[in-house]
Amino acid sequence: MKSTVLVMVAAGMFIAGPVAAQSAADLVKSKNCMGCHDLEKKKVGPAFKDIAAKYKGNKEAEAKLTAALKSGKGHPAKVAATDAELKTLVQYVLSAK
């Protein structure tokens, strides 16, 4: 019984990766990021593409931006999202091209 649960958890983790990546575009919409941002164009905030270019090669970018969105310091809007969601959002922004 215990091992069945472990296998299910492991399978869930395996599936969660690709699914999270696919739903990132939906997540930025559902968190209203697109009200101020656009992938390609500057709106109220900078284009995600430009942010990705600005932080290209910066290993600290993910941690820094996650903290900024979470606290509302360094970002005008405080984002209500779980840590996992924030991670997905930031990875999505940083992978925009």
Interface ranges with ligand HEC (CB under 6 A): 28, 31-33, 35-37, 44-46, 51, 65, 68-69, 74-77, 79, 89, 93
Shortest Å distance, C-beta 20 to ligand HEC = 14
Q: Do 47 and 38 contact (CB within 8 A), yes or no?
A: yes
Structure-token pair, residue 51: 């942010």
Query: What distance in Å separates the CA atoms of residue 32 and residue 76, rounded to the nearest whole number?
Result: 13
**Please, which residues have CB within 8 angstroms of residue 16's CB and are 6 or more apart in sequence?**
none
Residue 9 or 44: which CB sits closer to ligand HEC? 44
DSSP 32: T
Shortest Å distance, C-beta 97 to ligand HEC = 15
Shortest Å distance, C-beta 40 to ligand HEC = 15
Residue 20 or 77: which CB sits closer to ligand HEC? 77
Residue 17 or 76: which CB sits closer to ligand HEC? 76
